[in-house]
Each structure stands twice: as structure tokens, then as C-alpha cells.
């Protein structure tokens, strides 16, 4: 069953109808039917990309969890201080948060606010 026919099928909740649709898509895919391939890429590629991004994010978070880091809450004072650092220096907003957090924990030798 070509993809153009599958798209015209009414919504049916019966498992047998879904099985027919799936078999039709597989048949079209295996035979190289351009319309089936187009429909497949149009409907399924975004989900595949999202799954890949999720796996990559999970791996990155797992790697970060292995580092000797402590998460710090971003309260209003921290947000405003990071905005001030960002406004006066050519750094990213995320890096500005790191600067403010380091200053709060006396881990920064140079105070960017005073230039010393």
C-alpha cells in the first residue's frame, strides 16, 4: 500500500488496521517508494533527532555529575550580580554566574566589579 493511500485512511483504533498501515509503510520503504520515504522522513525524523539529543544530554549530565562540582541556587541577588558582570565584560551569561559564584565563595582572585 503506497504512502499516499495510508495518509487517506481514516483514524481507526483497531490493531489490525494499524498493522496494515505498518506493513504498507514497510513494504513501501523496502521497495524504495519515494512517497513512502518522504512521509517516513517527514513524520519520524524529528523524533529520532530529539531522541539523539536526549541521549547526548543524558551523557553530558552523567559526565558533569562525575566532576567535583556543587550546584548553587540562583537567587535574585546572584542573577542581578551576574547581569552586572555580563554588562561590563565580554563573557557569556553562564560564565558571569560562575564569576559571581566564585566571588561569593572567595574563589576568584580578581574582583571584576572593581577591576582589581
Residue-averaged pLDDT of the chain: 79
Number of domains the chain contains: 2
Of the residues 65, 82, 100, the one at which a domain ends = 65
pLDDT tens sequence across 12-57: 556 777 778 888 888 888 898 888 888 777 776 666 677 778 888 8
In terms of domains, do 56 and 32 share one? Answer: yes
- Claim: this prediction has a pTM higher than 0.75: no
Q: What share of the chain is helix, strand, coil (3-state, %, to 5)?
A: 70, 0, 30
Q: Tell me the angle at which helices 34-65 and 15-31 cross, rounded to the nearest 10 degrees.
A: 100
91 contacts: CB under 8 Å, gap ≥ 6: 85, 99
Q: Average pLDDT of 6-15?
A: 58
Average pLDDT over residues 57-82: 89
Question: Which structural domain range is residue 14 located in?
Answer: 3-65
Per-residue pLDDT, 23 = 84
Return d(Cα 84, Cα 89) in angstroms, integer: 9
What is the pLDDT at residue 87? 96
The DSSP symbol for 76 reads: H
Residue 84, pLDDT > 60, answer yes
Amino acid at each position: 500500500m503506497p504512502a499516499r493511500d495510508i495518509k487517506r485512511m481514516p483514524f481507526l483504533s483497531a490493531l489490525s488496521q494499524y498493522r496494515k498501515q505498518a506493513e504498507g509503510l514497510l513494504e513501501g520503504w523496502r521497495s524504495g517508494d519515494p512517497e513512502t520515504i518522504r512521509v517516513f522522513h517527514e513524520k519520524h525524523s524529528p523524533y529520532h533527532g530529539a531522541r539523539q539529543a536526549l541521549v547526548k544530554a543524558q551523557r553530558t549530565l552523567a559526565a558533569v555529575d562525575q566532576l567535583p562540582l556543587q550546584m548553587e541556587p540562583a537567587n535574585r541577588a546572584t542573577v542581578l550580580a551576574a547581569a552586572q558582570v555580563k554588562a561590563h565584560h565580554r563573557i557569556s551569561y553562564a560564565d558571569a554566574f560562575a564569576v559571581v559564584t566564585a566571588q561569593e565563595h572567595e574563589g576568584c582572585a580578581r574582583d571584576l566589579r572593581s577591576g582589581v
